[in-house]
């Protein structure tokens, strides 16, 4: 099968898998234990923390390990807002956040918090001025993602960070889609917190990272938690973290090469579909755009149908965020950029990575033409 659903998850790299297996054999001690095996595991954990910290320009003690992006998002936001409720009860986010943040904010509304959901322009980008205008005296935190998972639009988090920092509003960003692909400097972007997931960059599933600024107050969510300095309960997954760190190192080192490869694949795919006479629209921003994600709207064709037909031809794509599969609601991203409900259901996402080939892209274009031709005639 041709795999073009990298934005959902990625295949584990052999190096990361090998690192995971070796760590499972050698460092099986609990890093909280005081015996030698525990100390060895703790030392490995410290090394991973230090290596990941250099990738976002943070300090090692500001890196906390979790089970993935969703847990990082939820724990970070809850830990920060509960520690700063003396300031107020207002939160700023967007209509196009990952479901873990969007639904958390909906839950927080039932708990007495006020949430402002910012829209986007037709390219999926949040207006920095709208962020500024949304700030109230009671605003505690803003959570705005770095890269949209459905259409790949890049948000201007440095500019947003400057605005929030001036207003003394905490800034959390979901960087699951951008980590390893774009440069992230937590100091430059004035970030108080960010979230990352291992399986989006060829690491094992069930592992994630959360950055929390050491100068920013936060509150543990489960009393008397001892692991991860009280941020997350449960024995730390040392082998998974070793695999994650290995994958992160490899993808970061090859970032420039990977980006050029993915930009070339993007241009090849778009050039291929532009040669058709079909009404196919590429969503997102033409410049501030992650090249590996291509969001498409195909007039008159249900995205769910296209996905199933692609699968029948041996190609894996998606109709948007994997966390929304099975839901009846249309894409919030599509609605935010101005699509009607029916138009939003015409969306599909092609996403690829460093192991995707030109032949696979050409095959995907050819199959798309076949599917649409069958529908038209």
- pLDDT given at position 279: 85
- Name the token pair of 102: 């969007």
First to last CA, the chain: 27
Block residue for tokens 């790299």: 13
| Cβ atoms < 10 Å from Cβ of 33 | 13
91/81 Cα distance (integer angstroms): 9
237/31 Cα distance (integer angstroms): 9
Q: Of 105, 189, 210, 323, which one is the catalytic site residue?
A: 323
- pLDDT given at position 375: 77
Q: What is the pLDDT of residues 241-282, one digit of tens each?
A: 999 999 999 999 999 999 999 999 999 999 999 877 788 999
For the chain, the average pLDDT equals: 95
- pLDDT given at position 376: 64
**How confident is the model over 221-240, as a mean pLDDT?**
92
- pLDDT given at position 278: 81
Buried b (16+ CB within 10 A) or exposed e, 3-20: bbbbbbebebbeebbebb
- pLDDT given at position 10: 98
- pLDDT given at position 328: 55
Is residue 226 very low, low, confident or very high in pLDDT (cuts 50, 70, 90)?
confident
Residue from 182, 243, 244 nearest 208 by CA:
244
- pLDDT given at position 327: 54
- pLDDT given at position 349: 97
pTM across the whole model: 0.95
Is 323 an annotated catalytic residue?
yes
């Amino acid at each position: 099968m041709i795999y073009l659903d990298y934005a959902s998850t990625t295949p584990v790299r052999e190096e990361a898998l090998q690192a995971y297996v070796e760590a499972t054999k050698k460092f099986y001690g609990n890093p909280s234990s005081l015996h030698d095996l525990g100390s060895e595991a703790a030392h490995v954990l410290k090394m991973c923390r230090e290596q990941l910290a250099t990738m976002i320009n943070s300090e090692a003690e500001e890196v906390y390990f979790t089970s993935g992006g969703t847990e990082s998002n939820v724990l970070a936001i809850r830990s920060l807002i509960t520690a700063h409720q003396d300031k107020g009860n207002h939160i700023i986010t967007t209509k196009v956040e990952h479901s873990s943040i969007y639904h958390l904010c909906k839950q927080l509304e039932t708990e007495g918090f006020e949430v402002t959901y910012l829209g986007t322009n037709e390219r999926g980008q949040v207006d920095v001025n709208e962020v500024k205008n949304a700030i109230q005296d009671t605003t505690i935190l803003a959570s705005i993602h770095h890269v949209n998972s459905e259409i790949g639009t890049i948000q201007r988090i440095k500019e947003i960070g400057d605005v929030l920092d001036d207003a003394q509003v905490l800034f959390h960003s979901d960087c699951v889609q951008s980590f390893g692909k774009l440069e992230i400097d937590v100091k430059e972007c004035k970030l108080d917190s960010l979230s990352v997931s291992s399986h989006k960059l060829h690491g094992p599933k069930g592992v994630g990272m959360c950055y929390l600024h050491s100068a920013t107050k936060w509150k543990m969510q489960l009393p008397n938690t001892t692991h991860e300095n009280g941020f997350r309960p449960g024995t730390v997954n040392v082998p998974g973290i070793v695999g994650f760190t290995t994958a992160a190192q490899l993808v970061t080192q090859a970032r420039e090469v990977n980006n050029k490869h993915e930009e070339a694949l993007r241009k090849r795919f778009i050039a291929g579909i532009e040669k058709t006479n079909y009404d196919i629209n590429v969503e997102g921003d033409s410049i501030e755009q992650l090249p590996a994600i291509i969001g498409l709207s195909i007039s008159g064709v249900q995205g769910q149908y296209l996905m199933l037909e692609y699968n029948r031809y041996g190609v894996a794509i998606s109709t948007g965020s994997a966390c929304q599969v099975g839901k009846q609601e249309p894409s919030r991203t599509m609605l935010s950029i101005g699509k009607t409900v029916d138009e939003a259901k015409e969306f599909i996402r092609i996403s690829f990575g460093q192991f995707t080939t030109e032949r696979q892209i050409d095959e995907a274009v050819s199959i798309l033409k076949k599917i649409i031709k069958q529908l038209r005639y």
